[in-house]
């Protein structure tokens, strides 16, 4: 139980705790199914409180967790590293030979100023799979809107500029980046209701073409695995 009053984007807030718990479970299932006990290199971009990255690392994978607002991670493990950086600065400084088997962008895409460019660069360093969990637009065409965010809120865009892409926009951009196959796993996640103060997470929804990204105070979200080759999930 928490005693302070965490805001919507505080990772101690019950909505994020629930979300982290169920997304972590799903990720563990997906990684076990795809890779079994073979150890992979994983980049977690915008890693928040590191709880998901830490859980993944406990499976034996080598994890690098990037977070511009990084606090101390709890896990002293040789296969777990953290780095305080936003994604674009990291990619600019990382050098040409940096590669990962898997890149995870959970709750990050919609906080980016130049999502298409960042997706292109992230895709270029991923050898097999990019996993994206994002708020999306209620639009069945290829569309994106840009907006300002309050950068003082932990969890939001670091420079105050964000976006809301449609699912189709995302699929089209990832296909152009060489990720031909996508697996929409949103149906494996339960909806998390708004508590009246904070926005909930809605994974099971049908497009109504409202062009918004909220319904009954819940964010419309998708959890998708993008792959260069056909995979079994
Ligand atoms: C909504 S939180 C999601 C955290 C975590 N990945 C999760 O799903 O629980 C978004 C995170 O991305 C970070 N972030 C915001 N802008 C970023 C950027 N340009 N590059 C990397 N991380 C960023 C924020 O500091 C925040 O921790």
pLDDT digits 0-9 by tens, 61-79: 999 999 999 776 677 788 9
Q: List the Cα angle 215/202/189 in 5-degree steps.
A: 170
Structural domain boundaries enclosing 208: 14-227
Cβ atoms of 96 and 123 within 8 Å: the answer is no
Residue 211 lies in a domain: yes
Cα 224 to the center of its chain, rounded Å: 9
Q: Ligand 1, closest atom to CA 133?
A: 8
Q: Ligand 1, closest atom to CA 9?
A: 1
Q: Is 111 helix (H, G, I), strand (E, B) or coil?
A: helix
What is the CATH number for 21?
Answer: 3.40.50.150
Provide the number of structural domains found in the chain: 1
pLDDT at 232: 92
> By C-alpha distance, which of 211, 210, 213 is closest to 202?
213
52 membership: H or E segment, kind and range = helix 51-57
Residue 5 lies in a domain: no
Residue 91 lies in a domain: yes
pLDDT at 151: 86
HSE-CB at 172 with a 13 A cutoff on CA atoms is 12
Residue 2 lies in a domain: no
* Ligand 1 residue neighbourhood (C-beta within 6 Å): 9, 20, 45-48, 52, 66-69, 86-87, 106-108, 111-112, 155, 157-158
Question: pLDDT band at 3, cuts 50/70/90?
Answer: very low
Q: Report the C-alpha gap between 130 and 102 in whole angstroms.
A: 6
Residue 8 lies in a domain: no
Residue 80 lies in a domain: yes
Residue 79 lies in a domain: yes
Residues 197-221 have a mean pLDDT of: 96
pTM summary value: 0.95
Residue nearest to atom 20 of ligand 1 (CA): 86
Residue 67 lies in a domain: yes
Q: For residue 206, what are its two tokens?
A: 């049908």
Distance in Å, CA 51 to ligand 1 centroid: 13
| Cβ-based neighbours of 191, under 8 Å, separated by 6 or more | 200, 201, 202, 203, 204, 218
The residue with greater pLDDT, 10 or 123, is: 123
Distance in Å, CA 46 to ligand 1 centroid: 3
Q: List the Cα angle 199/201/204 in 5-degree steps.
A: 140
Distance in Å, CA 124 to ligand 1 centroid: 20
- Is 89's pLDDT higher than 60? yes
DSSP one-letter string for 154-192: TTS-SSSEEEEEBHHHHHHHHHHTT--EEEE-GGGS--B
Q: Report the C-alpha gap between 169 and 165 in whole angstroms.
A: 6
């Amino acid at each position: 139980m928490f005693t302070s009053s965490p805001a919507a984007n505080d990772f101690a807030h019950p909505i994020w705790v629930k979300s982290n718990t169920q997304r972590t479970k799903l990720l563990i299932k997906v990684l076990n199914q795809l890779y079994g006990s073979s150890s992979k290199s994983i980049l977690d971009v915008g890693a928040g409180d590191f709880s998901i990255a830490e859980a993944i690392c406990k499976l034996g994978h080598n994890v690098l967790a990037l977070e511009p607002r990084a606090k101390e991670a709890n896990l002293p493990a040789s296969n777990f590293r953290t780095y305080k950086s936003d994604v674009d600065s990291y990619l600019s400084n990382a050098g040409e030979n940096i590669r990962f088997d898997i890149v995870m962008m959970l709750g990050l895409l919609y906080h980016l100023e130049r999502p298409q460019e960042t997706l292109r660069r992230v895709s270029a360093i991923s050898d097999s799979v990019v996993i994206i969990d994002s708020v999306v637009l209620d639009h069945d065409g290829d569309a994106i809107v840009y907006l300002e965010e309050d950068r003082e809120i932990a969890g939001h865009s670091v420079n105050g500029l964000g976006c809301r892409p449609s699912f189709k926009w995302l699929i089209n951009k990832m296909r152009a980046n060489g990720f031909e196959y996508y697996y929409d796993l949103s149906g494996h996640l339960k909806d998390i209701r708004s508590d009246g103060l904070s926005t909930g997470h809605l994974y099971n929804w049908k497009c109504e073409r409202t062009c918004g990204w909220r319904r009954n105070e819940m964010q419309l979200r998708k959890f998708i695995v993008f792959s260069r080759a056909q995979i079994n999930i």
